[in-house]
Structure 1
Amino acid sequence: MRVAIAMTSALVLLAPVTPAVATSAQAATGSVFTAATVTQAADGSYTVGWQAPDAGTVAVTATTDASGGGAGTAVGSGGATGSLTVPALPAAPRWYFRLVPAHGTPLVVADRSLHLAHARNFRDVGGYRTADGHWVRMGAFYRSNKLSELDQNELNSLTADNVKLVVDLRNGSERSDDPDKIPAGATYQVADLIDITKGLPTGPDLTLALLLALPFLLKSSKDAEQNLGYRLMVNAPSARIAYRDLMNALASQPASAVFHCTAGKDRTGWGAAVLLTILGVDRTTVYNDFLASNTYYGGDSVRANWLDAAFAEVNRSYGSFDAYVHKGLGLSDATIAALKSRLLAS
């Protein structure tokens, strides 16, 4: 991530410094399913697993409809805790699996990744269970790395998957060097975290962010840079405006949407963490989603202590996550309610 470098460079010029995996699914509240996963293998086959202690038997149907509607194709069944392998299915933008319990509400699951060769960190933000028993819908919002290298088949797949909004978190230079390729019929929106015209942190906020990052220099310069960058993503005015614009855009989007930066791991990672936390997903699951970039994007892409720094800055600057959402991002109760209505299965 270059958020820290870019923001710090801008601050030096403009501001005085004062001393100082796998997937889950959608379901209604009270669903008998406590877990569900889908993994697509290299040969195109799927492994579907679930846990539903009070379900009785579970019938599994493959469908291309994210809502789980339509007749679909029966692919197997099992007990309250089960797993089955589904051979490769006919070509489709995306396959979902409807799990129908003998007792309780059906659940729809899918492999989290869309397996786009030219955007390998493109994956579903949904499919997580909240602390109060809701499930975040799949097939609604996606997170990704840059979309500049998508080929026509991948663009066609996103169009078929009803992606109607692309929110770009990158700065002007990144957007100019690698302009996004947009699915047909989709709207493109910029939410630049490093837009200096919208303001950058100065004085005590910047000084404290720098001081809090310094100890990491003794261990890793990469940790130091990212520790600073993640704090700036919380307290920089330009970043707060960008994340506010992102959440408002998602809340008003009736179709599918994707938000992304260059690698889809840092700026996008914090955006996903904010969204999932607003929805009521527990902190451990939020961290697991964040760290999954090490699997999808590869290597030592992200570290837990970077996300620690962002949440610590939330508490330092605002006292609580709720205060950050309302005061820092300026999100209204209506926007939060719209996000929950759009994304939480009822």
Structure 2
Amino acid sequence: MKDRVKPLEGVRNFRDFGGYEGAEGARIRHGKLYRSGHFGEASDNDLAAIDLLTITLQADLRRPDERERHGDKWPVRGVNRLYSDLGRETDAPHVNFLKQVAVDAEASKGWMRDYYKNAPYRPALVETYTAWFDHLANLHEDEAALVNCAAGKDRTGILCALTHHALGVSMDEIFHDYELTNEAAQVADRLPEAREYFNTMLEKAYEDEVYRPFLGVERQFLEAAVASIEEQSGNIDTYLTSTLGVDDTKRAVIRKKLLV
């Protein structure tokens, strides 16, 4: 955990998702794959630290309205930034959900499960997920890649899971990395502040647990995405090939570049 998480001042959930065992006993190289939340509040120290990581590829999974709202103090010069202009919203979808008359913790979890079921087939995400794998296949020896969204947990979590799968990582390890968000993003510590913020904004009096699914992750959420992929595409391998264009040849190239 400590070796993976990079403690930054204004960027949440920044961590290395390499190092896991992949295909044929090889391991994903450390220092090649990173994941995080957005960079709108990155400090100068954060930017200096990130600049040392030789990141030349960024998949930014935020919607266009999120990119405008958060701003962006990164990428640094020379970074190839992938994103989609599809899927613009007026308000964040989860905020619209929370504006309902009454919401409890189980309803919040249900909303997140539904989100994960739909996410692998959302056109904006399919567009950027596809570009991510295309560019990973062209990553140079001394370059690293990063995937982020707003919080670095849901859209990012799905793409990191797909990347791990393409590299031959076991499902147990995939879920382990996914659930690290709860520690890396310090969800338990942040919940009271988040509750106060959202309750004030929404004029509600919800308990902490109503907001937990929007700050952290649960295994059942990623399981919902996997189940949706299996239902609609047959399995993850077929989804990678038919939806994202990651055929056997491209997967072999990516493995050669990232596994040692």
Question: What TM-score range do you get, normalising by the shorter chain?
Answer: 0.7 to 0.9
- Conserved? CA contact 2:55–2:144, under 8 Å: yes
- Conserved? CA contact 1:159–1:185, under 8 Å: no
1:339 aligns with 2:254: yes
Higher relative contact order (CA 8 A, sep 6+): 2
Deviation at 1:239, TM superposition (A): 2.4
Show the counterpart of 1:195.
86
**Displacement over 3 Å in runs of 4+:** none
What is the 5 A alignment of 1:148-227? 148-192=40-84, 195-196=86-87, 220-227=106-113
Which structure would you say has the larger Rg?
A: 1
Show the counterpart of 1:289.
177
Deviation at 1:240, TM superposition (A): 1.9
1:316 aligns with 2:227: no
The normalised TM-score by structure 1 is 0.59
The root-mean-square deviation of aligned C-alpha atoms, in Å, is: 2.0
**Structure with greater strand percent:** 1
Q: Kindly tell me: are residues 232 and 264 of structure 1, through their superposed partners in 2, closer, same or farther at Cα, counting changes over 3 Å?
A: same
Cα deviation code 1:15-56 (max 9, x no counterpart): xxxxxxx2xxxxxxxxxxxxxxxx3xxxxxxxxxxxxxxxxx
Show the counterpart of 1:86.
none
Q: Kindly tell me: are residues 188 and 178 of structure 1, through their superposed partners in 2, closer, same or farther at Cα, counting changes over 3 Å?
A: farther
SS of 2:174 mapped into structure 1: helix
- Conserved? CA contact 2:61–2:125, under 8 Å: no
Show the counterpart of 1:261.
149
Aligned equivalents of 2:105, 2:66: Cα separation in 1: 29
Deviation at 1:253, TM superposition (A): 2.3
Aligned equivalents of 2:57, 2:121: Cα separation in 1: 26
Aligned equivalents of 1:218, 1:152: Cα separation in 2: 39
Q: Kindly tell me: are residues 181 and 218 of structure 1, through their superposed partners in 2, closer, same or farther at Cα, counting changes over 3 Å?
A: closer
SS of 1:165 mapped into structure 2: strand
**Structure with greater helix percent:** 2
Deviation at 1:276, TM superposition (A): 0.3
Amino acid at match of 1:168: D
SS of 1:288 mapped into structure 2: helix
Deviation at 1:227, TM superposition (A): 1.1
Q: Kindly tell me: are residues 244 and 276 of structure 1, through their superposed partners in 2, closer, same or farther at Cα, counting changes over 3 Å?
A: same
Amino acid at match of 2:81: Q
- Conserved? CA contact 2:86–2:123, under 8 Å: no
SS of 1:220 mapped into structure 2: helix
Amino acid at match of 1:304: R
Tell me the percent identity. Answer: 29
The normalised TM-score by structure 2 is 0.77
SS of 2:145 mapped into structure 1: strand
Instruction: Give structure 1 stretches of 5+ with no counterpart.
Output: 1-21, 23-38, 40-110, 198-216
Amino acid at match of 2:47: L
Amino acid at match of 1:237: P
Instruction: Give structure 2 stretches of 5+ with no counterpart.
Output: 89-102, 188-211
- Conserved? CA contact 1:165–1:187, under 8 Å: yes
